[in-house]
Copies of this chain bind each other. A is one copy, B any other.
Amino acid sequence: MPSTGRMFLQIPGPTNLPERVQRAMDMALINHRGEEFADLTKKILPRLKQVFRTEKGTPVLFPSSGTGAWESALVNTLSPGDGVLCIAIGEFSAGWGRLAKAHKYDVDVLELPWGSGVTEDAVHAKLAQDAGKKYKAVLTIHNETSTGVTTDVRAVRAALDRARHPALLMVDTVSGLACTDLRFDEWGIDVAVTGSQKGLLLPPGLGVLCVSEKALKAMESAQSPRYYFDWAPMIEKNRAGIFPYTPVTTLMYGLDTALDLLMEEGLERVFKRHHRLAEGVRRAVKAWGLKTVALQPQDASNVLTAVYLPEGYNADTLIARTENELNLALGAGLGPLAGRAFRIGHLGWMNELEVLATLSGVELGMKLLNVPFTLGSGVTAAQQWFLETHGK
């Protein structure tokens, strides 16, 4: 049957685009070496700094996905054979480590169970073993999209400080930035890495980094080969509002408008809204009698919620049916969670009714699979929470 009405794209990114952003991108191309484009760049960069909450950091933009931004972080600051500590708590945090290995760094992985967060002690223990300070970089993820867990980045910083370890602190905030708080300067981050298609309210295609002075210093001696993802010509050309090679014009238009939207709402309110919507989803999951992949409540992500189906029920079937029969796109379980869990994205340009639609669709889907739970219980629990916190 042809689908009618709106698709609810509730994967954990790319997200539903605001129509103001969509229309801003649907404009004629302009000369990317002309004045108008330079003005646009100069209007964007300072506001990106605000989103990263930095005064000293430098934003760098690449035509790439977030994976490209991962690569850029490493090849600009490291030399082949350099030690790297990767804190792996799920598919994406581990993935950055795999990329580091492919680039021939000496990668140690601090592997924590999927669903758990990161503690200062665990990181410190690992760093304490590195007497020779071979780690030049510690990679951690702000929000692990495979498990729905948010890392306490401050704890990682604290571990580095406690161990007096000089490694660069690199943070993947692909799905965290502009959804849940990140403080580049205050938390002592050296490289933060994100993509356009999550909290920045854009389609995929723009890799975004924020780089500290210490990271720029490291760049000077870093021997890894690089050209496409080289920061130096980017930063230099950006001063004049231009780029060393063709930038992604339409995403720049969109970014300008997305930053308007974020500033109009205010970052604090953006974070609060994400928390409120996320808590609605968590209350629903609890009402259903299901378990989240996130093991500890304090680690639960405000960006997405990964949910286990009871044994014997296939999450991939749930996802296929909600997408094909109910116009609801959910995220699949990745790696060890494949078939066992599904993921609900509640990030970006979202409101209560969209969350409630999503929850009601998950309920319909679970009933189609005969998953045992009380129909309506999740929606009602979320409604109850939204009422309790209405206008707050």
Is A19 part of the contact surface with B, judged by Cβ < 8 Å?
yes
- Whether the Cβ atoms of B353 and A246 lie closer than 8 Å is no
Interface residues in A85-137 by Cβ distance below 8 A to B read: 98-99, 102-104
Is A16 part of the contact surface with B, judged by Cβ < 8 Å?
yes
Flag the segment in A59-67, A154-162, A210-218, A294-302 that touches B.
A59-67
* Residues of A in contact with B, size category: 35 or more
Is A204 part of the contact surface with B, judged by Cβ < 8 Å?
yes
- Whether the Cβ atoms of A360 and B364 lie closer than 8 Å is no
Given A325-B390, A352-B364, CB of A269 within 8 Å of CB of B3: no
- Whether the Cβ atoms of B375 and A384 lie closer than 8 Å is yes
Nearest CB of B to A203, in Å: 4
- Whether the Cβ atoms of A387 and B360 lie closer than 8 Å is no
The residue in chain B whose Cβ has the minimal distance to the Cβ of A96 is: B227
Flag the segment in A28-36, A40-48, A305-313 that touches B.
A28-36
Contact residue among B22, B102, B204, B352 (Cβ-Cβ distance under 8 Å from A326): B352
Is A264 part of the contact surface with B, judged by Cβ < 8 Å?
yes
- Whether the Cβ atoms of A248 and B205 lie closer than 8 Å is yes
Q: Which of A11, A103, A357 has the most CB of B within 10 A?
A: A357
- Whether the Cβ atoms of B357 and A386 lie closer than 8 Å is no
The residue in chain B whose Cβ has the minimal distance to the Cβ of A9 is: B29
Is A329 part of the contact surface with B, judged by Cβ < 8 Å?
yes
- Whether the Cβ atoms of B1 and A269 lie closer than 8 Å is yes
Q: Which of A22, A66, A228 has the most CB of B within 10 A?
A: A228
The residue in chain B whose Cβ has the minimal distance to the Cβ of A99 is: B227
Interface residues in A1-52 by Cβ distance below 8 A to B read: 1-9, 11, 13-17, 19, 22-35
A259-274 to B contact mask, C-beta < 8 Å, 1/0: 0010011000100010
Is A363 part of the contact surface with B, judged by Cβ < 8 Å?
yes
A303-321 to B contact mask, C-beta < 8 Å, 1/0: 0000000000000000000
Is A250 part of the contact surface with B, judged by Cβ < 8 Å?
yes
Identical chains bound together, number: 4
Q: For residue A70, which residues in chain B have a CB less than 8 angstroms away from its CB? A: 228
- How far, in angstroms, from A205 to B323 measured CA to CA in the complex? 28
Is A226 part of the contact surface with B, judged by Cβ < 8 Å?
yes
- Whether the Cβ atoms of A63 and B27 lie closer than 8 Å is no
- Whether the Cβ atoms of B102 and A230 lie closer than 8 Å is yes
- How far, in angstroms, from A225 to B81 measured CA to CA in the complex? 12
- Whether the Cβ atoms of B246 and A329 lie closer than 8 Å is no
- How far, in angstroms, from A9 to B34 measured CA to CA in the complex? 11
Interface residues in A258-294 by Cβ distance below 8 A to B read: 261, 264-265, 269, 273
Q: Chain A residues in contact with chain B, CB under 8 A?
A: 1-9, 11, 13-17, 19, 22-35, 62-68, 70-71, 80, 98-99, 102-104, 195, 197, 203-205, 224-230, 244-251, 261, 264-265, 269, 273, 323-329, 332, 349-354, 356-358, 360-361, 363-364, 367-368, 375-377, 379-380, 383-384, 386-387, 390-391
A/B interface sample: 7 pairs, CB < 8 A: A7-B28, A14-B246, A14-B249, A25-B250, A31-B329, A32-B204, A328-B353
* 9 A-B pairs with the lowest CB-CB distances in the bound complex, closest first: A376-B380, A5-B351, A357-B357, A356-B360, A102-B227, A26-B26, A31-B329, A205-B248, A67-B245
Identify 18 new A-B residue pairs, CB closer than 8 A, beyond the known A23-B26, A102-B227.
Answer: A4-B351, A9-B28, A22-B26, A33-B332, A34-B323, A65-B245, A65-B247, A66-B246, A71-B228, A99-B228, A102-B230, A103-B227, A228-B229, A326-B352, A327-B351, A356-B357, A368-B387, A379-B383
